[in-house]
């Protein structure tokens, strides 16, 4: 058990603000990030009820990047082990100051897609940067579309509306499998920027530019990032997913740091 007197000041403030009762994983991740001078470049949330506020329309976050938290739309249900986005209109969003200008950074998404990876049938779950109906930058598991055969896809849409994509048909997961998708800005499409847990995903399907950073997109409405299978546009059974942890970092992480953070996220 972790006692309040032993908690880092930021974790204690989080506890007092949220009433969260399970703080062990938050405390461990906070300790590591501060030891690496990364805490102020990161922001994360757990969607397990005991590790967050556990009710209402806000998912409180830790990390010094911003003071903003996730807002929930359409009341997706809180759960002990995850938050499931299962109905049309279910999603969460957060405003990350300066996100649209990033040229380096990393996003880690620990979640459970509802279905096993299937090519050319629709999305399983996704995080989206852009506006409420058209993602300008996506990290997607189980997505399909113009590449025909991809099971995981990233997409960048520029000012003219042209879609640049990179994807892979060489990655699989089981329905409901708990794993972390790790995406590093600037390297998608070079076989160095996308991982399932710690295993690199080989990109074998591409279309257009493969730079993939928020800063290269050109048009954005704001610094808002969305989570869920649905993003204000409808959802099908094959697209539903359950979120466990969402992590953002605006620093250029080393491989050692990436693996350490991913491992700590697995402990939530």
What pLDDT, on a 0 to 100 scale, did the predictor assign at position 3? Answer: 47
For the segment 232-244, the average pLDDT, to the nearest whole number, is 62
What pLDDT, on a 0 to 100 scale, did the predictor assign at position 172? Answer: 84
User: CA 212, CA 232: separation in Å to the nearest integer?
Assistant: 23
Q: Nearest CA to 225 among 197, 250, 190? A: 250
What pLDDT, on a 0 to 100 scale, did the predictor assign at position 148? Answer: 67
Name residue, tokens 């001078």: 37
Q: Which CATH class is domain 4-265?
A: mainly beta
Longest dimension (CA), the chain: 55
Q: Could you read off the pLDDT of 57-96 as tens digits, one per residue?
A: 999 999 999 999 999 988 888 999 999 887 777 888 899 9
Q: pTM of the full predicted structure?
A: 0.89
CB 117 within 8 A of CB 151: yes
Residue 177 confidence (pLDDT) above 80? yes
Q: Nearest CA to 95 among 240, 251, 248, 264? A: 248
Q: Could you read off the pLDDT of 240-260 as tens digits, one per residue?
A: 678 999 999 999 999 999 999
Average pLDDT, the chain: 80
Name residue, tokens 């953070």: 261
For the segment 191-218, the average pLDDT, to the nearest whole number, is 75
User: CA 78, CA 65: separation in Å to the nearest integer?
Assistant: 25
Q: Could you read off the pLDDT of 93-127 as tens digits, one per residue?
A: 899 999 888 888 999 999 888 777 766 455 556 77
178 vs 150, more confident: 178
Q: What single string gives the DSSP state of each residue in 130-141?
A: ESSSSEEEEEEE
- The phi and psi torsions of 179 (rounded to 5 degrees) equal -150, 170
What pLDDT, on a 0 to 100 scale, did the predictor assign at position 241? Answer: 76
């Amino acid at each position: 058990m972790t006692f309040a007197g032993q908690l880092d000041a930021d974790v204690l403030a989080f506890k007092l603000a949220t009433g969260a009762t399970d703080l062990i994983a938050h405390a461990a991740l906070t300790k590591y990030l501060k030891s690496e001078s990364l805490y102020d470049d990161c922001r994360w949330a757990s969607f397990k009820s005991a590790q967050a506020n556990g009710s209402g329309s806000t998912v409180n976050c830790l990390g010094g990047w911003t003071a903003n938290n996730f807002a929930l739309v359409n009341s997706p249900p809180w759960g002990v082990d995850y938050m499931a986005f299962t109905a049309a209109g279910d999603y969460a969003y957060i405003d990350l100051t300066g996100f649209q200008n990033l040229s380096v950074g990393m996003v880690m998404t620990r979640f459970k897609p509802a279905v096993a990876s299937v090519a050319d049938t629709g999305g399983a779950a996704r995080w989206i940067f852009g506006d409420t109906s058209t993602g300008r930058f996506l990290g997607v598991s189980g997505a399909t579309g113009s590449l025909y055969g991809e099971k995981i896809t990233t997409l960048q849409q520029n000012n003219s509306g042209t879609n640049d994509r990179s994807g892979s048909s060489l990655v699989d997961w089981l329905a409901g499998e708990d794993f972390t998708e790790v995406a590093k800005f600037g390297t998608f499409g070079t076989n160095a920027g996308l991982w399932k847990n710690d295993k690199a995903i080989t990109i074998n399907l591409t279309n257009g530019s493969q730079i993939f950073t928020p800063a290269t997109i050109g048009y954005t409405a704001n610094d808002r990032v969305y989570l869920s299978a649905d993003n204000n546009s409808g959802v099908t059974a094959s697209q539903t997913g359950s979120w466990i942890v969402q992590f953002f970092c605006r620093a250029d992480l080393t491989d050692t740091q990436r693996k350490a953070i991913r491992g700590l996220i697995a402990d939530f």
